[in-house]
Structure 1
Amino acid sequence: MSTVSYMALALFIFLLYRSYQAYQGKKKAGEILLSGSSNGGYYFLGIYPFPLIWVMSTEREWSYLIIGCLIMIAAGYISGVYLGESGLKINGRFIAKDQILHYRIIEGTVNEVEFQVRGKDDFRVKFTKKTSSSGLETVLNQFLHGDTSTAGS
């Protein structure tokens, strides 16, 4: 195997491990209330297409193509965001509900929320799916405060 093959395999194994952590984080989040994607996080995920591009340009083996596709699937799963009854799964890690101090719905955007977490930098999330017919602010208030008022966070 070539050096690039080892690099692609190492990246695949690393993303497989991070996918397992993301799966565990999603399980810890409990019943999913909202899901979407985050702004920022794993910048290294931008490199995952390179093994696939290299394989497609050299047409060496189908195994590389399969590994490249699996890397893309794993990267997509890791970068998903899930707000559950017990906390938030973001970029492969779990943040417990009691660690989330505050949220703010970003003006002029559709379903984009900024969270403030104890001891960490603020981060933005764009929610694209919800499991109830309630509005975004109502679901966030229920999650964080246990109430249904929309007076703000």
Structure 2
Amino acid sequence: MKHIKDFRILGFLVIALINMIQTTTQAKIEPQEEESKDVKSCLFECMACRELWGAIYDGHACASGCFLTQGASIDQDCRLGANMPKRYAEIKSTDQCKKQCELCSMKFTSHKYDRNKCLDTCSLTNGKSRDASCSKYLTLYKVLGASNKV
């Protein structure tokens, strides 16, 4: 009986070994072709432009161009995949918003105006959340003129 158990174990191990060999030979991974130096440089520029300009820059279109032209469409100035007028308009709007924050903080020196929160909001919204009335970031009890603390 002991020999029969040994043969069963040996048979099981042989079958497992054959299955493992078949699995590894069927799942061969084909080596991918290395991209050229020009394509890599082009892709690096796409990545740098995307990091610089964020969602305004179309990184996918830039990368596709790199592959299609074998790197000849390199965008060193970050102009090919971006809407330049929109980009400059957002920068200008953010700067104007920040200037408004500075004016509000100077105007309400006796009140508590949260200048830093205002500046952060300008940056996060690309200048769309402008505090033109200087009331958005004032502390409520100072604005209402309450003299006693609650």
Q: Same fold (TM over 0.5)?
A: no
Instruction: Work out which of the two has the higher radius of gyration on C-alpha atoms and give 1 or 2.
Output: 2
> Which band: TM-score by shorter chain?
under 0.3
What is the TM-score normalised by the length of structure 2?
0.28
Between Structure 1 and Structure 2, which shows a larger proportion of helix residues?
Answer: 2
